[in-house]
C-alpha cells in the first residue's frame, strides 16, 4: 500500500486522502449511477490503481463550468442548470485520472484516461454520498477546492 494516495470507496461513497498511512481528509462523493466497470462507453466508474494525470482549473472561480477540460467562461447557477438540463456539469476543478494497471484500466477499451475519468466539482444541488455520475467522481465545489491544493500530479488513486 502507498504512503500518500487518494482512496475512493465505492461502497461508502467517500474519498479519503491518506498521508503517511493516516487519513488526513475525507469527503462524500458520488460515483457512477451504473456501478463499477472499466469498459469504454459503460458510464461506470473504473476500479483499481490510477494516478492523477493532470490538474485543471487553477485560478478559476468556484463554480466555473468546464467543457472538454476548458473553462467556458460561465459560472454555474441554478438558472443556468435549468436552462441546460441535458448538460453533465463539470465545475470548479478537475483531477484527470490515468489508469495504472495495463489491461484493467489502462490501454485498449478499458483506458481510464481516454474515458476522461475525472474527480471534479458538481452543482450543489447534486446529491453526494450515493451513486449518480456518468463514471466520474463528483465532489462538492468546496470539497474539490480544498482537495485540489493538497494533491500533486502523479499521486496514486485507488478506486475500490
CB-based contact 60:93 (threshold 8 Å): yes
Residue 1 reports pLDDT greater than 70: no
Side-chain half-sphere exposure of 145, counting CA atoms within 13 A: 12
Q: What value does the mean pLDDT of the chain take?
A: 96
pTM for the structure as a whole:
0.95
Q: In this prediction, what percent of the chain has a pLDDT beyond 90?
A: 98
- The confidence band for 83, taking pLDDT boundaries of 50, 70 and 90, is very high
- The confidence band for 142, taking pLDDT boundaries of 50, 70 and 90, is very high
User: How many domains is the chain built from?
Assistant: 1
Report the b/e string of 51-87 with b at 16+ CB within 10 A. Answer: bbbebbbeebeebbbbeeeebeeeebeeeeeeeeeee
The pLDDT score that the predictor gives to residue 3 is: 87
Domain with 39 in it? 5-159
Domain CATH code at residue 29: 2.40.440.10
Q: What does the pLDDT look like over 23-47, one tens digit per residue?
A: 999 999 999 999 999 999 999 999 9
The pLDDT score that the predictor gives to residue 6 is: 98
Amino acid at each position: 500500500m502507498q504512503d500518500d494516495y487518494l482512496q475512493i470507496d465505492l461502497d461508502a461513497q467517500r474519498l479519503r486522502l491518506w498521508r503517511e498511512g493516516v487519513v488526513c481528509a475525507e469527503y462524500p462523493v458520488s460515483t457512477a449511477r451504473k456501478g463499477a466497470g472499466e469498459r469504454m462507453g459503460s458510464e461506470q466508474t473504473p476500479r483499481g490503481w490510477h494516478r492523477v494525470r493532470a490538474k485543471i482549473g487553477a485560478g478559476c472561480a468556484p463554480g466555473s463550468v468546464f467543457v472538454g477540460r476548458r473553462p467556458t467562461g460561465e459560472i454555474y447557477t441554478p438558472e443556468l442548470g435549468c436552462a441546460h438540463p441535458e448538460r453533465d456539469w463539470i465545475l470548479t476543478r478537475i483531477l484527470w485520472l490515468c489508469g495504472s494497471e495495463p489491461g484493467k484500466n489502462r490501454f485498449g477499451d478499458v483506458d481510464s484516461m481516454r474515458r476522461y475519468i475525472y474527480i471534479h466539482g458538481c452543482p450543489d444541488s447534486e446529491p453526494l454520498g450515493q451513486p449518480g455520475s456518468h463514471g466520474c467522481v463528483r465532489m462538492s465545489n468546496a470539497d474539490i477546492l480544498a482537495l485540489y491544493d493538497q494533491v500533486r500530479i502523479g499521486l496514486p488513486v485507488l478506486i475500490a
